[in-house]
Amino acid sequence: MIGATATATEMQNNFGKYLNLVMEGKEVIVTKNGKEVGRFIPKDAAVSYLTDSLTGILSNNYSLDQAKEERLREKYEITD
């Protein structure tokens, strides 16, 4: 769940505020010059994202492209 979007300067100046959001399980998108440059996410979400993606790929259940597509669908709540 996205909790906030912050510029790099806002993130630097208000790190505690954004850290609290992440500790609550929310995601913070970091931008610079209007472009997304990174995300500040809870540890469990990062581990889950990596292991979920790798588990299917390593067991040959689906390809890297399928994993990326699935993640984008979840992220942007795309339905067919």
pLDDT in tens, 7-45: 999 999 999 999 999 999 899 999 999 999 988 988 877
The rounded distance, in Å, linking the Cα atoms of 26 and 33 is 23
- CATH of 2-40, picked from 3.40.1620.10, 3.90.1150.10, 3.40.50.620, 3.20.20.140, is 3.40.1620.10
pLDDT at residue number 62 = 60
- Residue 55's pLDDT is 59
Listed in order, the ranges of the chain carrying CATH 3.40.1620.10 are 2-40
What's the 3-state SS for the chain? Answer: CEEEEEEHHHHHHCHHHHHHHHHCCCEEEEEECCEEEEEECCHHHHHHHHHHHHHHHHCCCCCHHHHHHHHHHHHHCCCC
- pLDDT tens per residue, range 56-79: 555 556 666 777 777 777 777 665
Question: What does the pLDDT read at residue 45?
Answer: 75
Bridge partners, 4 (sequence order): 28
Q: What is the pLDDT of residue 78?
A: 62
